[in-house]
Amino acid sequence: MDVLAGGILVRLCRRKAAHIRETAWGMVLVATRSPGREELQFPPAEYVHDIEAPQNVLIGPVGRLYAYTVIHSATGDEPPRMVAMVDFEPGVRAFGPLLQGEGPPEIDGDVRVVPYALPDGARDYAFRVGHDAPK
C-alpha cells in the first residue's frame, strides 16, 4: 500500500513476524524500536514504512507483575480468569492473560512468559506465576 507522508510517497508493509518467539531460555515477547527512537513498542505496529524497518528487541522471558485483576463471567457460566500488566526491562509494560501457578500472584513478583492458545486456537502468550517463574 502506498501513502503520501510529508510529501514523500512511501510504501506501507504489513509486519509478518510474530510478536512472540521461543528461545533457549524460554518464550519471549518481540518489541520493536523505530529508527532514531529510544522507546520500544509492544505489541509491534502491524504496518511499517518499508524505508524505516524497525529493529526487533526481545524482552523476557521473566518480568515483574505490575497489576492484575480477576474477570468474572456476567452469566456465571465461565470460570473466572485473570489478566495482568507486566513490566519488562528495558521499560516495556505488556498486558495479557495471567495463569495461576502455585500460590497467589504477588505484585512486583516474577512471572514468566509462557505459550497460550487463544479460543480460536491461535498461538499466543500468557504470564504464569509460581515455581516455574524463577526468583
pLDDT tens track of the chain, all 135 residues? Answer: 555 555 655 677 776 778 898 989 899 999 988 877 888 989 887 777 666 677 889 998 999 999 999 999 898 888 889 999 999 988 899 999 999 877 779 999 999 999 999 889 989 999 998 655 444
- Residue 43 CA to residue 121 CA, distance in Å, equals 19
Give bridge partners of residue 27 from the DSSP assignment.
22
**Cell reading at 40:** 520500544
Domain of 72, in residue numbers: 1-135
Structural domain count of the chain: 1
0.85 exceeded by pTM = no
